[in-house]
Copies of this chain bind each other. A is one copy, B any other.
Amino acid sequence: MNSKIKWLRDKIERMNMQGMIVSNPINIQYLIGIEAEGILLLTRKENIYITDGRYLEQVQSVLTIEDEIIVTNISDVSEYDYDNFFMFCENVGFEENYVTYAKYKEYKQKYRINNLVETENIIEKGRMVKDEQEIQNIKKACEITDNCFNYIKEYIKKGMTEKQIASEIESFFIQNGAEGLAFETIVASGENSSKPHAIPTNRKIQSGDIVIIDFGCKYNGYCSDMTRTIFIDKVEETAKVIYDLVNKNQSLILSQLREGANTRNLSKMVENDFKLHGYDLIHGLGHAVGLQIHEEPFISSNRMETILKENMVITNEPGIYLAGKFGIRIEDTVLITKNECITLTNSGKDYIVIED
């Protein structure tokens, strides 16, 4: 049987559930590698994926006999089938943080379930620690991202618009083995760089600009995430000081990231150092990366405290943003190990000055 399904079956058994309805498409992708519209049922006897005609061919081509998943066209599922899927199940789990109240009621009625019980994000919690294959996918996505940065450094010229650069990044990703973007690329120049979530505009890159490039791609469904801040022609003294402060804190956090590190303490560390120098950490310090670009755990003093574990993959992205002036952010995607972290994005972090 598919190993992740096996893992989930063990988990729910220990929670005294005899079945589960998995509805969240990202969780389904995680468990059985399928990106489609459908629902996954773990019943006493079988694993059943119900989808529709549009996806049947694609789904059948991905699954093998070893997966032990029965694929069914929703139009072939009878009322009798629905009645029987969870027969003799005392408790059936569902995803209470994804399923709407209306769907919950529909499930209860359609599947004739007496105890439809909450599963407290068990799958999301499992997704926090990556397996070897997932790590390889993220590594590959990070490698393509590093290559893209090498290329784009040479590509950028004064007079180009932020949008043009963002578009070239996307083209590079597609032409170099990525499936697409992990998220909308940020190319934020001049005063736009002071907005952490800037959207590329038609502003033209000019001499003296600071440009934040925050970008990532997907490989086999898995994301990468990297930010570099570059300078056009020169690095002003005021920007240098802030760049150094951000860079120092980014390095500091890299040295602290390992199994056992406390996410809230990591964030506090940067917050305190920024405050000492008169700045605020207005944006989260990091987040996990996987099938989604933003996953649990988040590294922030406003979020739930998490103790990092081996094989989590997270970002480390301190930034300082001076409204209306400029911003500096440096970000890597890293793999947590027992005693240290391994940076998966490896582009240089010395002042990157583009002259042409």
Contact = CB atoms under 8 A, between A and B. Distances in A.
Contacts of A97: 100-102
Contacts of A104: 101, 104
B102 A100 contact: no
A71 B348 CA distance: 48
Interface residues of A, number: 16
A320 to B, nearest CB: 19
B202 A171 contact: yes
Contacts of A96: 100-102, 105
Copies in the complex: 2
Contacts of A37: none
A323 B163 CA distance: 31
A97 B118 CA distance: 18
A167 B163 contact: yes
Most chain B CB within a 10 A radius of its CB, from A96, A100, A103: A100
Contacts of A55: none
A99 interface: yes
A168 B167 CA distance: 13
Most chain B CB within a 10 A radius of its CB, from A101, A102, A167, A202: A101
Interface of A: 94, 96-105, 118, 163, 167, 171, 202
User: Nearest 7 pairs between A and B by C-beta?
Assistant: A96-B102, A96-B101, A101-B104, A97-B102, A101-B101, A99-B101, A97-B100
Given A102-B118, A163-B167, 15 more contacts: A94-B101, A96-B100, A96-B101, A96-B102, A97-B100, A97-B101, A97-B102, A99-B100, A99-B101, A100-B100, A100-B101, A101-B101, A101-B103, A101-B118, A104-B104
22 contacts: A94-B101, A96-B100, A96-B101, A96-B102, A96-B105, A97-B100, A97-B101, A97-B102, A98-B100, A99-B100, A99-B101, A100-B100, A100-B101, A101-B101, A101-B103, A101-B104, A101-B118, A102-B118, A104-B104, A163-B167, A167-B167, A171-B202
